[in-house]
Amino acid sequence: MKDSPLVALALRATGFLERYLPDAFVFALGATGLSLLAGWLWTGTSAATLLDGWGKGFFSLLGFTLQMSLIIILGHVVASAPPIDRLLRRLAGLAQTPQAGVTLVALLAMLSSWINWGFSLTFSAMLARATARRFADRGQPIDYRALAAASFLGLGSIWAQGLSGSAALQMATANALPPGLHGQGIPLSQTIFLWQSFVSVAVEIVVVTTLFWLIAPRESTAVTAASLGIDLHDPPPSPVEPSSLRPGERPEHSPWLSVMFVAIATSYLTHSLLGAPSRLEAINLNTINLALLTLGTALHRTPARLQRAFAQATPAVWGVILQFPLYGGIAGVLASAHLNEQIAGLFVGAASQATLPPLVALYSLLLGIFVPSGGSKWLIEAPYVLDAASRLHVHAGWMVAVYDLGEALANLIQPFWMLPVLGIFGLRARDVMGYTVITFVVLLPVVLLLTYGLGLTLSR
């Protein structure tokens, strides 16, 4: 059967980017040079000041880097547990055609990213691999690149409107706010739990799911994992015989220490939820990571299995560890040259009460290309964005939401957050970005219309 024009377009875009797109690390290096050049030429900041800002910012995100790395690792730990693995196999069996398989991965990637983006990254990638393996075992070709792209769509659409959205969580966490925002916290009920946020999430899910149903390659043009030289069958873990364990090794293979940890952590999390003025205020990056670790410990049962899952997940974060300092340096340059104020001024100066939300979404998208971290970037930009919202009488919580919507779009054309997923697939950004770029082109006008139209329903 002949491919539809949309499928042909996706295949041409993927082929073009496979040939010409550089590696994600090159993006980070190029953005570093561009930010220094812009600070010098646009704002007239001296080279000494720019370099000082870059150097001070270089390691400024170490704490945040560890939090983000833990989200990725713990997501992998939970998703790789035997009960979740069995669930993945069942889910992969629901799709009867390659087109349905790609679409199912896209839909579940978005739904799981609303719960937690770190879990979604790994869960969706492992679901995509399980789907590819299922079709390979049945002798049906399914496009491995399209599956990989579909597994990333949660990070490129609705994740920041969900329970792990960095900006919303920071505004709801008093000690996560910079000095200029002390006392200006915004509860989650006024950001991600606005009905307007739920509507934007629902619309994006429908649009993206429909798009991937239309652009998923058919069997005749599918590029399979086998054709790319990728083995989909992981070796099973070696069983451990209790009689072969030395006395010092037995606690590692016993569930009792894990049970103790789960009981302690669950008690603390319950106490935090019950003791918080609002249940939603207890949800932040640290409690999410602790909850994931607690769930992973319970699912893997013994310390030895948990450690093995951690060891298998750790390679997925090397790109974060390598590149995050560069983005910290870029953030330092933006701050030292006051480039963020200059860019914000361009957008805010052209805004009215009605147009500020879509312009801020565009602003967040632009900066997200240079600093692909919603949390660290929001800390820099929040004072300017919220001040503009106050002056123009725009709902502050909606400003956080639209900022997050723009931030998510940047992930479709900035390959940084694809690194953990691509490590699991054994692919490069250029292999999947044909699909994500098409998604970006379709989703951008949808998001701008949503931020504008839904913003009109809110008052300060």
* Confidence (pLDDT) at 267: 94
Per residue of the chain (460 residues), what is the pLDDT tens digit?
A: 556 676 777 777 767 766 766 676 787 788 889 889 988 888 888 889 899 989 988 887 787 778 778 877 887 788 778 888 788 889 999 999 999 999 999 999 999 999 878 778 878 988 998 999 999 988 999 999 999 999 999 999 999 898 878 788 778 766 556 555 656 778 888 999 999 999 999 999 999 999 999 999 888 888 999 998 888 775 555 555 555 666 766 777 788 889 999 999 999 988 887 876 655 556 666 887 898 899 999 999 889 889 888 888 888 788 778 887 887 888 788 778 887 677 767 766 777 888 999 988 988 888 777 766 656 667 667 777 887 888 788 898 999 999 989 989 989 988 777 877 787 788 888 888 889 999 999 999 999 999 999 999 986 6
* Confidence (pLDDT) at 387: 77
Retrieve residue 378's tokens: 């929001």
User: Would you list the domain boundaries of the chain?
Assistant: 5-232+251-455
* Confidence (pLDDT) at 235: 57
Q: Please say whether the beta carbons of 222 and 142 come within 8 A.
A: yes
* Confidence (pLDDT) at 212: 95
* Confidence (pLDDT) at 309: 87
CA nearest neighbour of 370 among 37, 14, 20: 37
d(CA 351, CA 12): 38
d(CA 185, CA 171): 5
What is the chain's alpha carbon radius of gyration, rounded to the nearest angstrom? 22
The DSSP code for 301 is -
Q: Report how far apart, in Å, the C-alpha atoms of 50 and of each of 7, 35, 47, 379, 431 are.
A: 46, 9, 5, 19, 35
The DSSP code for 192 is T
Q: Report how far apart, in Å, the C-alpha atoms of 351 and of each of 256, 330, 348, 360, 363 are.
A: 60, 26, 5, 9, 12
Measured from the Cβ of residue 244, the count of other Cβ atoms closer than 10 Å reads 7
